[in-house]
């Protein structure tokens, strides 16, 4: 059983209280689950996709988001899996798509299954409690009778499926187009029929067009041409992006972003830019719709200019800020903090080419990514260590996520930073080797060894008048962590690397 501990002396040595906060007791110290061996990424992706053999990955639908390890993997006597390690054993749109696209080279049918399921669940009407909109891709799919679903409905007013995500829709387009572009046979998937939520038979081309129309409506109605988010219901997800903690979007002085107005996140814009280009190529090559392709490219060009003019700052040698919010008069403001999100810009077409401005931008971002403030023993911190709200164990304000670091590594490699990319991949492999988990995230501290939270720590934020869970244990087998480890190993195998002798040990970050 968990031990309830009210002694603040046992908090992590690097734990900090921000101005206006005070610690709520008791602090919960969870029993450590100790594992015998470094786990197999292939075995875990089979569990997550309910497959019995690698050839069946995708046969039974998309990956669920997370699992706990089975008791047989434990080296100590703990048998029962506590509830806090079983939060996400369901299908999330964003998570499923990221898993599918990261594994598309080895297991393309997972992308097929994931996009088909999301097309079947795609928004078909405007429904506020679900935050459903025509063409929108869902955030979270739960049976309304699931105890967690019942709790979320009672406390927050959510309906099901719940659609509170702004990035799942462009990610859907990217994954669908990536699958279709692989072969002529895969392109036939555009004619695949499915039944939508209203009982109508549609094709995957229809789902693609609906998703593009949702983006177009959102962007064209925005004064700056950005894809913003704002919860449609009072207790909807405040940050409808992958960093969905309520305090993840803030200003340099720690002030929380204004959620009463629209917020735009930089990585959502670049994902949308790529989605528009991807779709344009597919419309031109597979559907022979050149006019539509030209319009999509024109939309992408406008968005590219908006991204570079809106999210870039020359501060600290130049970098892409986390995002923007708006003041009470609706004027755009930069959220001028250094985060891992800037690295996502590298894994995009946005800065491709030899334009001097683009070269300068990607060089500056690469310098920040590999700086001591951003890099730790496990990978890239979600928030730079010199930022006001940095806390090593915080969910999105200082921790390191394996999928996030891998995504940045792919961007580094895209622009020729091969040694740096290999080093980032080595760090996430080392995380699994040391923790013997596929953790949702690890601590972003300055220690010599990757480590995970074993406490739940909650503070009361007097300024914002709400509780903040600033430390919590990660899920043990997070699907997108499994996917990037498996993808990294597959890439190394293609390079002829012998994984049985490959050294993943990492020295402490400079």
Q: Identify which of 399, 381, 394, 390 has the alpha carbon closest to the alpha carbon of residue 469.
A: 394
C-alpha dihedral, 203 to 275 to 198 to 200, nearest 10°: -10
pLDDT single digits (tens) 44-61: 999 999 999 999 999 999
Transcribe 352-419 into DSSP letters: -S--HHHHHHHHHHHHHHTSTTTEETTEEBSB-TTSTT--TT-TTTT-B-HHHHHHHHHHHHHTT-HH
Give me the phi and psi of 254, to 5 degrees please. Answer: 90, -10
pTM listed for this prediction: 0.96
Contact residues for 39 (Cβ-Cβ < 8 A; gap 6+): 69, 73, 432, 436, 437, 438, 477
- What mean pLDDT, rounded, does the chain reach? 95
Q: How confident is the model at residue 79 (pLDDT cuts 50, 70, 90)?
A: low
Query: Which two tokens mark 63?
Result: 């990956």
Residue linked to tokens 């999210």:
311
Transcribe 172-188 into DSSP letters: HHHHHHHHHTS-HHHHG
The Cα angle at residue 324 between residues 318 and 329, in degrees rounded to 5: 130
Q: How confident is the model at residue 6 (pLDDT cuts 50, 70, 90)?
A: very low
Question: Is domain 103-243+253-316+332-337 classified as CATH 1.50.10.10?
Answer: yes
Mean of pLDDT values over 224-251: 98
State yes or no: pLDDT of 509 exceeds 80. Answer: no
Query: Which two tokens mark 356?
Result: 């001097």
Per DSSP, the three-state class of 329 is coil
What is the DSSP-derived secondary structure letter of residue 222?
Answer: S
Mean of pLDDT values over 189-193: 97
CB atoms within 10 A of CB 55: 10
**Measured between alpha carbons, how far is 393 from 388 in angstroms, rounded to an integer?**
14
**Measured between alpha carbons, how far is 237 from 231 in angstroms, rounded to an integer?**
6
Q: How many CA atoms lie within 13 A of 107 on its CB side?
A: 30
Q: Answer for the pair 410, 394: CB distance below 8 angstroms, yes or no.
A: no
Question: Would you give the distance in Å from CA 331 to the centre of its chain?
Answer: 28
Q: What is the pLDDT of residue 37?
A: 85
In our burial notation (b when 16+ CB lie closer than 10 A, e otherwise), range 278-307 reads: bbbbbbbebbebeebbebbbebbeebbebb
H or E stretch covering 118:
helix 108-120
**Measured between alpha carbons, how far is 298 from 294 in angstroms, rounded to an integer?**
6
The Cα angle at residue 67 between residues 504 and 242, in degrees rounded to 5: 75
R_g (Cα) of the chain, nearest Å? 22
pLDDT single digits (tens) 97-153: 999 999 999 999 999 999 999 999 999 999 999 999 999 999 999 999 999 999 999
Can you name the residues that pair with 322 across neighbouring β-strands? none
Q: What is the pLDDT of residue 430?
A: 97
**Measured between alpha carbons, how far is 484 from 487 in angstroms, rounded to an integer?**
5
**Measured between alpha carbons, how far is 361 from 83 in angstroms, rounded to an integer?**
44
Query: Which two tokens mark 378?
Result: 């496990």
| Helices 418-435 & 479-494 angle (0-180, nearest 10) | 130
Query: Which two tokens mark 292?
Result: 């539509």
Helices within 130-234 (DSSP H only): 147-156, 168-180, 184-187, 204-220
Q: Answer for the pair 91, 160: CB distance below 8 angstroms, yes or no.
A: no
Q: Answer for the pair 69, 86: CB distance below 8 angstroms, yes or no.
A: no
Q: How confident is the model at residue 4 (pLDDT cuts 50, 70, 90)?
A: very low
Q: What is the pLDDT of residue 335?
A: 98
Mean of pLDDT values over 165-170: 98
């Amino acid at each position: 059983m968990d031990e309830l501990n009210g002694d603040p002396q046992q908090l992590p040595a690097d734990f900090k209280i921000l101005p206006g906060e005070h610690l709520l007791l008791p602090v919960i110290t969870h029993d450590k689950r100790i594992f015998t061996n470094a786990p197999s990424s292939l075995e875990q992706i089979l569990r997550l996709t309910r497959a019995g053999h690698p050839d069946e990955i995708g046969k039974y639908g998309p990956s669920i988001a997370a699992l706990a390890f089975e008791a047989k993997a434990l080296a100590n006597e703990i048998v029962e899996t506590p509830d806090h390690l079983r939060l996400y054993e369901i299908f999330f749109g964003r998570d499923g798509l990221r898993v599918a696209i990261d594994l598309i080279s080895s297991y393309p049918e997972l992308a097929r299954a994931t996009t088909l399921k999301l097309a079947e669940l795609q928004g078909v009407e405007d429904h506020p409690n679900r935050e459903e909109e025509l063409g929108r891709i869902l955030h979270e799919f739960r049976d309304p009778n699931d105890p967690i679903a019942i709790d979320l409905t009672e406390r927050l007013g959510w309906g099901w499926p719940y659609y509170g995500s702004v990035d799942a829709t462009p990610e859907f387009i990217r994954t669908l187009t990536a699958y279709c572009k692989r072969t002529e046979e895969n392109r036939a998937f555009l004619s695949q029929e499915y039944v939508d939520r209203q009982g109508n038979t549609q094709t995957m081309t229809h789902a693609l067009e609906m998703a593009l129309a949702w983006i177009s409506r959102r962007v064209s109605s925005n004064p700056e041409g950005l894809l913003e988010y704002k919860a449609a219901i009072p207790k909807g997800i405040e940050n409808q992006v992958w960093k969905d903690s309520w305090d993840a979007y803030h200003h340099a002085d720690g002030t929380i972003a204004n959620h009463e107005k629209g917020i735009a996140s930089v990585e959502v814009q670049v994902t949308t830019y790529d989605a528009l280009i991807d779709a344009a190529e597919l419309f031109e090559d597979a559907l022979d719709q050149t006019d539509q392709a030209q319009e999509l490219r024109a939309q992408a060009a406008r968005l590219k200019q908006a991204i570079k003019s809106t999210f870039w700052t020359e501060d600290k040698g130049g970098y892409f800020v986390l995002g923007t919010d708006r003041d009470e008069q609706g004027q755009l403001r930069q959220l001028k903090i250094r985060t891992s999100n800037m690295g996502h810009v590298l894994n995009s077409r946005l800065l491709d080419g030899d334009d001097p401005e683009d070269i300068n931008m990607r060089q500056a971002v690469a310098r920040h990514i590999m700086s001591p403030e951003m890099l730790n023993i496990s990978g890239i911190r979600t928030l730079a260590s010199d930022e006001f709200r940095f806390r090593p164990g915080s969910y999105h304000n200082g921790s390191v996520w394996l999928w996030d670091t891998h995504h940045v590594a792919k961007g580094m490699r895209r622009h020729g930073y091969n040694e740096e990319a290999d080093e980032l991949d080595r760090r996430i492999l080392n995380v699994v080797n040391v923790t013997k988990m596929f953790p949702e995230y690890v601590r972003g501290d300055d220690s010599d060894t990757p480590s995970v939270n074993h406490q739940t720590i909650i503070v009361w934020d007097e300024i914002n008048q709400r509780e903040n869970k600033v430390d919590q244990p990660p899920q043990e087998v997070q699907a997108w962590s499994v996917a990037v480890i498996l993808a990294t190993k597959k890439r190394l195998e293609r390079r002829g690397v012998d994984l049985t002798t490959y050294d993943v040990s990492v020295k402490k970050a400079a």
